[in-house]
Amino acid sequence: MKPTIADVAQLAGVSQATVSRALRGVDSVTPTTRQKVLQAAEQLHFTLSKHASSLASGKNMRVMLLTSGKLNQWFNANVLQGIYDVLNPAGYDIAPSYIITQQDAIDFFRHLPNVGNVDAMIIASFQVDNQMRAYLQQTDIPVIGVDIPAQSYGNASIGIDNVDGMRKAVQLLRSLGHSTIGFVTDYMPADMVYSTVERAHIFEQVAQEYGLDQRHAPIISLSEYDHFTSNEQIANELVSRILGLEQRPTALCVQTDASAIAVIKALRNQGIRVPEDMSVVGFDDADIADIADLTTLRQDPYAMGVIAAKKTLDLLHGVELAHPHELLPARIILRSTTQLAKGLA
Amino acid sequence: MKPTIADVAQLAGVSQATVSRALRGVDSVTPTTRQKVLQAAEQLHFTLSKHASSLASGKNMRVMLLTSGKLNQWFNANVLQGIYDVLNPAGYDIAPSYIITQQDAIDFFRHLPNVGNVDAMIIASFQVDNQMRAYLQQTDIPVIGVDIPAQSYGNASIGIDNVDGMRKAVQLLRSLGHSTIGFVTDYMPADMVYSTVERAHIFEQVAQEYGLDQRHAPIISLSEYDHFTSNEQIANELVSRILGLEQRPTALCVQTDASAIAVIKALRNQGIRVPEDMSVVGFDDADIADIADLTTLRQDPYAMGVIAAKKTLDLLHGVELAHPHELLPARIILRSTTQLAKGLA
DNA sequence: TTGTATGCGTTATCAA
DNA sequence: TTGATAACGCATACAA
């Protein structure tokens, strides 16, 4: 049978309350009694029951991480790691959870599983719509956003400055002499909740700033009705659309590194050299970007996780956040998939 | 204030016990009363408190995942995802945790954090030594291993057949005409607990089987005393040792994909072409292997996570496992870093 | 500083 | 099938 606090109390010759105090290190306990208790606990291999503690104290000592997209994705796994590294030392458990479609989200929030069993909720990479916002606002625990487009949402948030990042990307390509720049979107079902879809809108806006009209800043995407079996097929289809444009771009911004790499491969298969004939920049700087030697906009999901967790801790401890909503600057990583536009070399 | 089961009972006009029964779906409850309860619960946005449930029932409904190495690593993140996908629908939470060094492990098991607060423990990629084994055996909850070399450990385990895999790798290279094959180890501090270190031993054994003496099957590794600041430096150092061998290998097995890719880069920097002058095979088939077009031995950590979780569930439900310890067959993925030995083309 | 006693929200035992 | 009621293991007023 697992020992309880009562067993320790008996062995140490003190009351249960004293054991509780000694073990948690709060409240004042005489060094000698503390020692007795600690010894007794050690001897019995005793550990406090989190469930009982939580029930008694009203604190769950758990925070939920809700990601859009699976936990094994580069971004999410790194956010998790960052959160873990600051929350675990503080005594908090992490309850990871994920959602993919809008329907998932609705089901999730309708049943509010766990909510009520966690002290805070960190949500990552969501495209928060009004319905979700409404649900989220119902809950009385702190909600911290990571990479949430509508940065104004929730009690706190951390993201990267996507607009600034996009400006850097477009500016780079412009200064390399590219006058027609395409934006290639990921293929994703209509009801996805990923926040990366925001990037296409931002591109449109930034392209305008840089004097590119719609014809010189085409957006290449797949209709949601199309169905493809492989990433390769998707990339091939995208490339065929790019090649079909009357005003063919000489540079491409691609929504994610993974897509960018697939597109580059498809491009090369058609004899379009990268970067000689076409410059390509990706987004994220995941591991694969380094391997593929891809110019990209760096995101640091681990750092975001760390910051989000720190904000969470502050919120939980009731400290006022000086800057609840923060944006990390974007950084462009120059590698070998971008080059001066043809004729300018 | 959060509603309790009592509030629901009052609203539904039944007793707390009935609410509890109706909500959990166990025990027999009249359809009509169940409806009343469900409606009342919905109306109040009521959710059972996991902590209270656990305390009363003695079941934690939580399983711990303990990985060696961070949670954002390809292997671990995929195991987590696999575990989540089967345990979450079954109503279990996952408590992820990780350990890097032997010291971490000792600290962890000494204080048994969480153990006693989880119903089972899944440990991944560990090099389980006697000390750890002793600690592990003390605990009375099921322990399920994922990719644990000493497959005989624990209540159940799932891994890949590393010996079979190594045979496939060596056989491939042998049949391509390579008569000197090196094994390149990862650089890792002496007190790491990763299970991949086992691979070097297996290579030695398999090389012998294929008639390669020590001179024709050199193991290239860095001493634990060396310190390097970057993976690039490590790869360069390894390559310099390879080139310094009297009997230079024409093929290499590298402990992990990441190392293999770094080594290939370092090799190419020295004018050694891959695969023309040197064939290279990696281990894992992580995302990066595909990008780098690396021949490698595939591991499927997601599948392992799924299987481990299913075994966990069985164990938790008290069902006897027909085959507690399973080994998945290894599969070699042929890509473009291997080729016929020179002169045989 | 320490001990006593109550309550946290649920499950489970026992009657009804 | 349903309703009381006693645990479950701990934290925390309150008293001493």
Main-chain phi, psi angles of A205, to 5 degrees: -60, -45
Q: Which amino acid is at A328?
A: L
Residue A200 three-state SS: helix
Q: What positions of strand C are covered by protein, i.e. any atom < 7 Å from a CB?
A: 1-5, 7-13
For residue B345, what pLDDT is reported? 56
pLDDT digits (tens, 9 = 90+) for B31-43: 999 999 999 999 9
The backbone region for A83, taken as left when phi is positive above 0, alpha when psi lies in -120 to 50, beta otherwise, is alpha
Instruction: State which nucleotides on strand D lie below 7 Å from a protein beta carbon.
Output: 1-13
Output the pLDDT for position A70. 95
Pairing of strands B295-298, B279-284: parallel
Asked whether residue A208's C-beta has any atom of DNA/RNA strand D within 7 A, the reply is no
Mean pLDDT value across chain A? 90
Confidence category of residue A225, pLDDT binned at 50, 70, 90? low
Which domains, ranges and CATH numbers included, belong to chain A?
Answer: 5-57 (1.10.260.40), 62-160+301-329 (3.40.50.2300), 162-298 (3.40.50.2300)
- Look at residues B169, B139, B165, B166 and name the one whose alpha carbon lies nearest to residue B154: B139
Chain A residues lying within 8 Å of B293, measured CB to CB: none
- What tens digit of pLDDT does each residue of A108-147 get? 877 765 667 899 999 998 877 777 788 777 778 899 999 9
* Lookup result for tokens 């300018």: A344
pLDDT in tens, B67-123: 999 999 999 999 999 999 999 999 999 999 999 888 888 888 777 656 678 999 999
Q: What whole-number distance in Å separates Cα of residue B59 and Cα of residue B37?
A: 24
Does residue B256 sit at the A interface (CB-CB below 8 Å)? no
C-alpha span between A265 and B174 (Å, rounded): 31
Instruction: Give CA torsion, residues A220, A225, A228, A229, to 10 deg.
Output: 140
pLDDT > 70 fraction of chain A, expressed in percent and rounded = 93
- Mean predicted confidence (pLDDT) in A255-268: 96
Strand C-proximal residues of A, range 19-48, CB below 7 A, are 21, 27-30, 32-34
Residue A344 binned pLDDT confidence (cut-offs 50, 70, 90): low
Lowest average pLDDT, out of A32-36, A42-46, A146-150, B75-79, goes to: A146-150
Residue B223 pLDDT greater than 80, yes or no: no
Closest among A61, A198, A194 to A124, alpha carbons compared? A194
Q: Which residues contact B87 (CB under 8 A, 6 or more apart)?
A: B63, B93, B94, B309, B312, B313
Tens-digit pLDDT profile for residues A2-31: 889 999 999 999 999 999 999 988 777 899
Which positions in chain A touch B292 (Cβ < 8 Å)? 291
Label residue A339 left, alpha or beta by phi (over 0 means left) and psi (-120 to 50 means alpha): beta
Given a cut of 80, is residue B152 above it in pLDDT? no
Amino acid making up residue B200: A
- In the three-class reduction of DSSP (H, G, I as helix; E, B as strand; rest coil), residue A41 is classed as helix
Amino acid at A289: A
- Average pLDDT of the segment spanning B229-242: 90
pLDDT at B340 over 80: yes
Residue B305's pLDDT is 98
> How confident is the model at residue A132, as a pLDDT?
78
- What integer is the mean pLDDT of B146-164? 84
Closest CA to B154 of B163, B169, B164, B143: B143
Check B78 against A72: CB less than 8 A apart.
yes
pLDDT of A51 higher than 60: yes
| Best CA proximity match to A165, nearest among A48, A328, A335, A2 | A328
The tens digit of pLDDT for each residue in A80-97 reads: 999 999 999 999 999 999
The arithmetic mean of pLDDT across residues A21-45, rounded, is: 89
DSSP bridge pairs for B63: B94, B120
Cα-based distances in Å from B269 to A33, A242, B266, B272, B273? 66, 35, 5, 7, 9
Q: Mean per-residue pLDDT for B12-27?
A: 90
pLDDT of B5 higher than 90: yes
* A51 closest CB neighbour out of B54, B95, B261: B54
pTM (2 d.p.): 0.93
Contacts 24+ apart (CB under 8 A), A83-86: A83/A122, A83/A305, A83/A306, A83/A308, A83/A309, A83/A312, A84/A305, A84/B71, A84/B96, A84/B98, A85/A305, A85/A306, A85/A309, A86/A305, A86/A306, A86/A309, A86/A310, A86/A313
Question: Quick count: other Cβ atoms within 10 Å of Cβ B208?
Answer: 12
Hey, how many other C-beta atoms are within 10 angstroms of the C-beta on A305?
Answer: 29
Quickly state the pLDDT bin for A150 (edges 50, 70, 90).
Answer: low
pLDDT at B87: 97
Residues in chain B with CB shorter than 8 Å from the CB of A291 are 261, 288, 291-292
Q: How far is B116 from chain A (nearest CA, A)?
A: 7
Q: What are phi and psi of A276, to 5 degrees?
A: -55, -50
